[in-house]
Amino acid sequence: MGEVDSAPRTRTRQVRVGGVPIGGGAPVAVQSMTTTPTRDPEATLAQISELAEEGCEIARVAIPDAASLEGFATVCAASPLPVVADIHFDHHLAIEACRRGAAALRVNPGNIGSWDRVDAVIDAAKEAGIPIRIGVNAGSLARDVEARADLTHAEKLVESAVSFVRHFAERGFLDVVVSAKTHSAMETVEVNRLLSRALPEVPLHLGVTEAGDFSQATVKNSVALGILLSEGIGDTVRVSITAPPADEVRVAWQILAATGVRQRGPEIVSCPTCARCSIDLMALEDEVARRLREVRAPLCVAVMGCEVNGPGEARAADIGIAGGHGHCILFAGGEIIATVDQSEAVDALMAQIDARFPE
């Protein structure tokens, strides 16, 4: 895939979602969730294929009702990614999802109902040989924890998750991943720090839920996931954004790259521009970014607005261009290698990338 994985992860028990390992030192896996009606398997598969192109490794698909089960089975059979069944409230849907090809379940035990229903789901997953992500949020706390006045909201999330994991273990089911989600970035940090201490052997799924539009959600997830990943906490991520799912995947990879955890494809370094800039740098950067989507080598590519910010300030970049007054300089390793007309700059840059960094 053209990626690096350089940061040591906390050693948790490994589970497998289809062919994707989670925990146990495996690379932090990137997830997203489809937004298409599950009753429409063609549209759902098209969206999963788009997610796969962006580097998504696990796709989550909601099953809101029994009428969606047939479409879900079709999706599982044809998906290029392992498919997680997202279930709320109705344990029968979770049991049927196990039978229809789910690579994993995501359930919130706190809203499934009685322990008998939860146990039926556990037994179905055990029979199918698939893991379960135990989800906890404000609306799905353990009943005996929710009313406790001696606990903060973060502590309630942790206590609920611990009680659920304990119950699953008592049933002999250890193939679990845990998520405890909130819309607050800093509470997400607090909760997952506590979880990593309370359940050191259990893989953690990270994300800020209900995070908002693209700008707000990107900031919230970058803050929370950046802190946690830099501390070695977290085994898989889903960046929740009110936007097309492919945007979630792109932002997730950018967070992983910025924290030094994983990199898929190039990183772009570009200056914010100033009065020295005599070219349309935003258009130039947009074109470079578009062309680089086909590149998988983990490069640092600079796109600078003038020679001042060219090979000097961008010396650490593997390769780059700096423009001004109708021409651009092309540089690699901090050294100028060519001067080209501005209209030819992107083509020249891509030609050098192809020649110097074959995949």
DSSP state, residue 273: -
| Average pLDDT in the chain | 89
Q: Most confidently modeled of 149-158, 248-257, 266-275?
A: 248-257
Report how far apart the first and last C-alpha atoms of the chain are (Å, whole number).
9
The mean pLDDT of 238-262, rounded to a whole number, is: 93
Taking the whole predicted model, whether its pTM rises above 0.85 is answered as yes
What is the model's pLDDT at position 324? Answer: 73
What is the model's pLDDT at position 308? Answer: 64
What is the model's pLDDT at position 320? Answer: 87
Lowest average pLDDT, out of 72-81, 93-102, 143-152, 236-245, goes to: 143-152
What the block records as the tokens of 324 is 């001004």
DSSP state, residue 308: G
What does the domain layout of the chain look like in residue ranges? 3-264, 267-356
* pLDDT one-digit tens code per residue, 267-302: 888 878 777 777 788 888 898 888 988 888 888 898
CATH of 267-356, one of 3.40.50.1370, 3.50.40.10, 3.40.50.300, 3.30.413.10: 3.30.413.10
- State the pLDDT confidence band at 315, using cuts at 50, 70 and 90: confident
DSSP bridge pairs for 285: none
Confidence check: pLDDT of 181 > 80: yes
Confidence check: pLDDT of 8 > 60: no
| Cβ(298)–Cβ(3) below 8 Å | yes
Which is more confident, 163 or 306?
163
- State the pLDDT confidence band at 311, using cuts at 50, 70 and 90: low
- State the pLDDT confidence band at 3, using cuts at 50, 70 and 90: low
What is the model's pLDDT at position 100? Answer: 95
Gap between the Cα atoms of 297 and 263, Å rounded: 9
Segment (H or E) for 304: strand 300-304
For the sheet containing 132-136, what is the strand order?
Answer: 176-180, 132-136, 104-107, 83-87, 58-62, 29-33, 236-238, 205-206
Lowest average pLDDT, out of 88-102, 135-149, 238-252, goes to: 135-149
| Cβ(236)–Cβ(22) below 8 Å | yes
Written as one letter, the residue type at 354 is D
* pLDDT one-digit tens code per residue, 198-242: 999 999 999 998 878 999 999 999 999 999 999 999 999 999 999
Question: Is residue 331 exposed (0-12), middle (13-18) or buried (19+ Cβ within 10 Å)?
Answer: buried
Gap between the Cα atoms of 84 and 236, Å rounded: 13
The reply to whether 267-356 shares the fold of 3-264 is no
The mean pLDDT of 49-67, rounded to a whole number, is: 96
Distances (CA, A) of 110 to 79, 167, 298: 30, 12, 42
- State the pLDDT confidence band at 1, using cuts at 50, 70 and 90: very low
* pLDDT one-digit tens code per residue, 133-150: 999 887 777 777 777 878
| Cβ(68)–Cβ(102) below 8 Å | no
Lowest average pLDDT, out of 58-67, 114-123, 341-350, goes to: 341-350
Of 193, 265, 249, 261, which is closest to residue 224 (Cα–Cα)? 193
Confidence check: pLDDT of 4 > 60: no
3-264: CATH topology is TIM Barrel (3.20.20)
- State the pLDDT confidence band at 356, using cuts at 50, 70 and 90: confident
Of 274, 286, 306, which is closest to residue 346 (Cα–Cα)? 286
What is the model's pLDDT at position 267? Answer: 87
Confidence check: pLDDT of 113 > 90: no
The mean pLDDT of 188-200, rounded to a whole number, is: 94
Other beta carbons within 10 angstroms of residue 16's beta carbon come to 18
The mean pLDDT of 304-332, rounded to a whole number, is: 78
- In total, the chain counts a number of residues equal to 359
| Cβ(208)–Cβ(216) below 8 Å | no
The mean pLDDT of 253-262, rounded to a whole number, is: 93
Other beta carbons within 10 angstroms of residue 170's beta carbon come to 9
